[in-house]
Amino acid sequence: MSLEAVTDPAGAAMADGFRRQEARHRAWVLGGLGLLLTALAADLLLGPGSHSPGEVLRALWYPAEASPLVRITVWQIRLPTALLAILSGAGLAVAGAQMQTVLDNPLADPFTLGLASAASFGAALAVVAGISLLPLAGHLAAAGNAFVFSLLAAGMIHLLSRLRGVGLDTLVLLGIATMFTFNALLGLLQYLASPDALQQLVFWSLGSLARPSGLKLGLIAAVLMACLLLSQRLGWQLGALRLGGLQAQAMGVRVAPLRLGMLAVMALLTAVVVAAVGTIGFVGLVAPHMARLLVGEQQRHFLPLSALCGATLMCVADLASKLVVPGLVLPIGIVTALAGLPAFFLLILRRRRSL
């Protein structure tokens, strides 16, 4: 038997098949990019204010010549909001995708692991009780607390799992327990809150793209980019994890540190996103599944397409939140929840069949 280069027709056909599959996957990624750009364009062109598409486009290309009203609508509201939607959607999707990869659980995402609930509670602590864990004030105090608490929750899950040496399934259950814990604490704070503070809490618990800022955009973009680069470097090892922990170990992957490290990094990404936009559910859960259906779990295509799906979903949700009820912008978390819940049910039912 020779393992040297194959020249026989069957081998050539196999190599062709592989290249065709790669080309198909690349086409899906490009298609995802195209879809995202379309959604972005629609998100910029449509919305309250009823400016004509021509006006909006002119204001985009020649800001100096546009009327101040259109200029402000486009440059200070629609464009930053759309960018925030894209970045946070991509961030949640990447976090969800890698949590599903390393925990080997299709239901893992920033929410089922309790990180988002912890962040909400942290924000509520700042809004209601005025307690800030980082030396920040105002909205930043809430964001800072959200950040600290989602990292704390991740650390807590990690410690508990180390304490008992539990398996992967239990890790997800611990996440759900964490979610309930922080939801209960949040309920307590809401009960004690003043009507004014309660109003502000809605921002966190329902999610909002309403306050985009350069700081938020820059932070999410930087952490997201770092996560993508890291995932690309570790791509083969992460892919091998999908073959099963023991087999990955046999291939020389240091499984336990890889899992923990990836979870920590994804907790950081979640924390940054949730601190910026509050809790927006289901994007991190559904987007990776869409990508997996289209291109499988080979990291090279799975991760970019997950990010693109998440960004597109969030962009479309932003559009829907502006258009569904005329004259009113719905909280985006409600839109993603209403659209995402059916997908969640489908996933659970599909999983039961496959078991």
Contact by Cβ (8 Å): 239, 299: yes
Contact by Cβ (8 Å): 52, 70: no
The C-alpha atoms of residue 73 and residue 84 are separated, in whole angstroms, by: 15
The C-alpha atoms of residue 39 and residue 41 are separated, in whole angstroms, by: 5
Specify burial of residue 340 (Cβ count, 10 A radius: 0-12, 13-18, 19+).
Answer: buried
Give the nearest distance from C-beta 255 to other proteins in angstroms: 10
- Examine residue 2 and tell whether it contacts other proteins (CB under 8 A): yes
Give the nearest distance from C-beta 3 to other proteins in angstroms: 5
Candidate list 38, 52, 194, 247; residue touching other proteins; CB under 8 A: 247
Nearest residue (CB) to other proteins, 76 versus 247 = 247
Contact by Cβ (8 Å): 136, 146: no
Return contacts of 107-111, CB within 8 angstroms, 24+ apart. 107/172, 107/285, 107/347, 107/348, 107/351, 108/172, 108/175, 109/284, 109/285, 109/288, 110/150, 110/266, 110/270, 110/273, 110/274, 110/284, 111/179, 111/279, 111/281, 111/282, 111/284, 111/285
- Examine residue 350 and tell whether it contacts other proteins (CB under 8 A): no
- Examine residue 8 and tell whether it contacts other proteins (CB under 8 A): yes
Candidate list 27, 167, 169, 236; residue touching other proteins; CB under 8 A: 236
Candidate list 207, 239, 278, 310; residue touching other proteins; CB under 8 A: 239
Interface segment toward other proteins; rule CB under 8 A; list 6-14, 140-148, 265-273, 342-350: 6-14
Give the nearest distance from C-beta 296 to other proteins in angstroms: 4
Give the nearest distance from C-beta 4 to other proteins in angstroms: 7
- Examine residue 298 and tell whether it contacts other proteins (CB under 8 A): yes
Q: What is the DSSP string of 197-240?
A: HHHHHHHHHH-------HHHHHHHHHHHHHHHHHHHHTHHHHHH
The one-character DSSP state at 104 is: T
- Examine residue 246 and tell whether it contacts other proteins (CB under 8 A): yes
How many Cα atoms occupy the beta-carbon half-sphere of 339 within 13 Å?
21
- How many residues touch other proteins under the rule CB under 8 A: the total is 36
List, in order, residues 6 or more apart from 276 with CB less than 8 Å away: 84, 88, 143, 216, 219, 220
Candidate list 21, 170, 181, 190; residue touching other proteins; CB under 8 A: 21
Give the number of other CB atoms < 10 A from CB of residue 172.
Answer: 20
Interface segment toward other proteins; rule CB under 8 A; list 70-78, 123-131, 245-253, 307-315: 245-253
* Per-residue contact string for residues 158-197; x = within reach of other proteins by CB under 8 A: ----------------------------------------
Give the nearest distance from C-beta 157 to other proteins in angstroms: 24
Candidate list 113, 248, 311, 337; residue touching other proteins; CB under 8 A: 248
- Examine residue 15 and tell whether it contacts other proteins (CB under 8 A): yes
Give the nearest distance from C-beta 194 to other proteins in angstroms: 50
The residues that touch other proteins, with contacts defined as CB under 8 A, are 1-6, 8, 10-11, 13-15, 17-18, 21, 236-237, 239-240, 242-244, 246-253, 292-293, 296-298, 354
